[in-house]
Chain A
């Protein structure tokens, strides 16, 4: 048995070492949403380590103490049915732990599903992020521009990504800024993202969607609002307008580099939300798709 524990210790050591030399993306948050999830993850890691250690210690002690080779050959183990106090404890302790984690889970889930604290009152920057095999299209309706496979966002502002897909289910994920959410063809999902620090972040589709899945990434650049505004202006001066024909071509399966256009495809191919939802055929339903706004 010793070999195993040495080995496990070694492995934990390696893990700690690796974790030490470069922070893991998910645990290196650069915005309040990812910060919340990182905190939750650390809380759960500590709580769970406690359980694992308790079980390991109990197991080690029992194996050491009650192994046959250490005992009198005549020893006959007793018949023990169970004990209500012992069993009470092994029910109560897990319940307490689960109750604690349930509270953490519920609070944090509500937090990451809303605009981060301090940003609730501000008007968010709306960006539609839609996926097609195997690309991401970003429409900025307010700024009237569209990009492919990269997205620029201003720092310290709530960005409301409206996610949907032109086909397969994909999942929009920027590990350092916020947890992921699905982009689907028949429903628009909403993800609030704030970047605290300027920088380049990896974004990708994390939900398997066919042959080009591995390369289904996009680059996120967060920059101060003034830079963001001049970037928008630049694009209006340099980029070509996006036509419906051209957009249909972009949707063809394959990989494209980064591209930039003026205008957005929302004008001729709107997102599946509100009255454009395929599952919406009456006013009573609209609440469901827009329900996110009622925080």
Chain B
């Protein structure tokens, strides 16, 4: 199935689909505000909320963060490939890329969990200080989003497997890809402004 310029892609093919995508973009702007609030709070606490606990430079470790960044960036690429495969109608490839995406996401989560355990062992828990609370809440909110995304992705894969590619499933897959890209962008902010800035 080749797309010509007259035809909209399948995920945009019905009014409901277009509406869903617009609605999801609006939802993402709310999500941006959510993370913006967390980042703003973080910038306040990182300077003034350390108390008697450790500062960022004392607890951040580069290797796990680099691995996390690599995994999530790659997964953003693979979900892009999945959407591309969807647009050219190659369902198997699409599902393959989605599975890879979710696996990379799961990998990301595993490293993040390792990192949290590490924080715990060196005495930087949720309760330690205002700074650690904000740090872990920000990372945790992102991580919770990824976790939710994993389950959501599985639902979509199951539906594509069962019902094939149609206006409904294409729409869902596309929206899921928007969500996943968004998480990746948020991670880039976390990586730059929390980790890199904290380690410098």
* A interacts with B: yes
Contact partners of B96 in chain A: CB under 8 A: none
Binary contact track B44-63/A, C-beta < 8 Å → 1, others 0: 00011111000100000000
For residue B51, which residue of chain A has the nearest CB? Answer: A278
Residues of B within 8 A of A281 (CB): 50, 55
Let me know if A279 is at the binding interface, CB within 8 A: yes
Distance A285 CA – B55 CA, assembled complex (angstroms) = 15
Residue of chain B at shortest CB distance from A277: B48
Cβ of B86 to closest chain A Cβ, rounded Å:
50
Inside 8 A of A278's CB, which chain B residues have their CB? 51
Decide if the interface of chain A is mainly helix, strand, loop or mixed: loop
B17-56 vs A, Cβ < 8 Å mask (1 yes, 0 no): 0000000000000000000000000000001111100010
For B51, the chain A residues whose CB sits under 8 A away are: 278
Majority-rule SS of B interface residues = loop
A281–B46 alpha-carbon span in the complex (Å): 11
A-B contacts, CB under 8 A, total: 8
Given the complex of chains A and B, what is the CA–CA distance between A279 and B47 in angstroms?
A: 8
B48 CB contacts on chain A under 8 angstroms: 279, 285
A279 to B51, CA, bound (A): 7
A113 to chain B minimum Cβ distance, whole angstroms, is 22
Given the complex of chains A and B, what is the CA–CA distance between A222 and B51 in angstroms? 40
By size class, the interface of chain B is under 10
Interface size of A in residues (CB-CB distance below 8 Å) = 4
List B contacts of A279 (CB < 8 A).
Answer: 47-49
A288 closest partner in B (C-beta): B48
Residue of A nearest to B48 (CB): A279
Q: What 1/0 flags go to A210-234 for Cβ under 8 Å of B?
A: 0000000000000000000000000
In whole Å, how far is A188's beta carbon from the nearest beta carbon of chain B? 14
Within 89-125 of B, Cβ neighbours of A (below 8 Å) are at none
Q: Whose C-beta in chain A lies nearest to the C-beta of B52?
A: A278
The distance in angstroms between the C-alpha atoms of A285 and B47, with both chains bound, is: 9
Chain B: minimal CB distance from A184 (Å): 13
B129 → A minimal CB distance (Å): 10
With A and B bound together, what is the CA distance between A278 and B52 in angstroms? 9
Q: How far is the CA of A278 from the CA of B131 in the complex (A)?
A: 13
Expressed in whole angstroms, the minimum distance between the Cβ of B161 and any Cβ of chain A is 54
- Within A253-295, the residues touching B (CB, 8 Å) are 278-279, 281, 285
B42 to A: closest C-beta gap in Å: 15
Q: How far is the CA of A281 from the CA of B55 in the complex (A)?
A: 10
Distance between Cα atoms of A278 and B47 in the complex (Å):
11
Q: How far is the CA of A278 from the CA of B130 in the complex (A)?
A: 11
CB distance from A259 to the nearest CB of B (A): 32
- Nearest-CB distance from A282 to chain B (Å)? 9
Within 8 A of A (CB), among B131-181: none
Q: With a CB–CB cut-off of 8 A, which chain A residues contact B47? A: 279, 285
- Most chain A CB neighbours (cut-off 10 Å) among B48, B50, B51, B55: B48
Distance to closest chain B CB from A120 (angstroms): 30
A279–B53 Cα gap in the complex (Å)? Answer: 12
Nearest Cβ on chain A to B189's Cβ, whole angstroms: 24
Q: How far is the CB of B126 from chain A (nearest CB, A)?
A: 19
B27 CB to closest chain A CB (Å) equals: 35
A-B pairs with beta carbons under 8 Å apart, 8 shown: A278-B51, A279-B47, A279-B48, A279-B49, A281-B50, A281-B55, A285-B47, A285-B48
| B residues in contact (CB < 8 Å) with A | 47-51, 55
Known: A278-B51, A281-B50, A285-B48; 5 extra A-B contacts, CB below 8 A, are: A279-B47, A279-B48, A279-B49, A281-B55, A285-B47
